[in-house]
Amino acid sequence: MDPRELRNAFGRFATGVTVVTCRNATGDPHGATVNAFTAVSLEPALAQVTLARTSKACQFLDGRPFGINILAADQGHVAWHFAGRPADQPPAWLEGPTAPLVEGAAATISCRPWRTYDGGDHLIVIGEVASVDITDVDPLLFHCGTFRHLRPLETGAHWFGSADCPERGWFDAATTFAPFSPRARQTTKEFA
């Protein structure tokens, strides 16, 4: 597989942009721009980031707490700063519950170490979520090598026809569920 072609294919998937933050060997805040972020589990609460093995952050994350900073739409300069193009004015740091955080992020997820896995030329780092902070600010997006911004899709139609519509979907707010009665379960078995 041609690596450039594979990178182009992966780049067709629009993602958010995060900065993974931790403390370096001397205890100073350190960050790395990462767009490979995934929610893993609600119970237990787990989140995953994937970093290139050559990233300095990899050596600082081994068994240590970290933060996932989901960048705001106006933080392209922050993404570049932590991707190796330092800004004239470095981003401001905040003290987070588990690790330093970047000021102004759309959301932050503070994690305790959970597991690290081999991911080829990357490391897959999973953290147990200890705390989150959420704002109403739009996130920064990344698609085909370029930063992007959210905007409504102009289709002229609401998603009422979708099963996921919060007003009329499969399980709207008015839906209630009653467990099967023992008789109902027995009847179900008879027809199975």
Domain boundaries, the chain: 3-149
Other CB atoms closer than 10 Å to residue 46's CB: what's the count? Answer: 17
Distances (CA, A) of 103 to 73, 78, 135: 13, 10, 12
Distances (CA, A) of 158 to 138, 152, 154, 168: 21, 11, 10, 11
- pLDDT of 184 reads 47
- pLDDT, tens digit (0-9, with 9 covering 90-100), for 51-73: 988 888 888 988 999 999 999 99
94 Cβ partners below 8 Å, 6+ apart?
100, 101, 102, 103
Instruction: Locate 9 and state its tokens.
Output: 């294919």
- pLDDT of 7 reads 77
pTM, to two decimals: 0.75
- pLDDT, tens digit (0-9, with 9 covering 90-100), for 75-96: 999 999 999 888 888 999 999 9
Q: Is 148 exposed, middle or buried (0-12, 13-18, 19+ CB in 10 A)?
A: middle
- pLDDT, tens digit (0-9, with 9 covering 90-100), for 159-173: 555 666 656 655 555
- pLDDT, tens digit (0-9, with 9 covering 90-100), for 2-55: 888 887 787 776 788 999 999 999 999 999 999 889 899 999 999 999 998 888
Laid out side by side, the sheet with 140-143 consists of 15-16, 140-143, 146-149
Q: Any idea which residue has 């109403």 for tokens?
A: 136
Which backbone phi and psi does 159 adopt, to 5 degrees? -90, 30
168 Cβ partners below 8 Å, 6+ apart?
160
Higher per-residue pLDDT: 96 or 154: 96
CATH number of 3-149: 2.30.110.10
Higher per-residue pLDDT: 171 or 127: 127
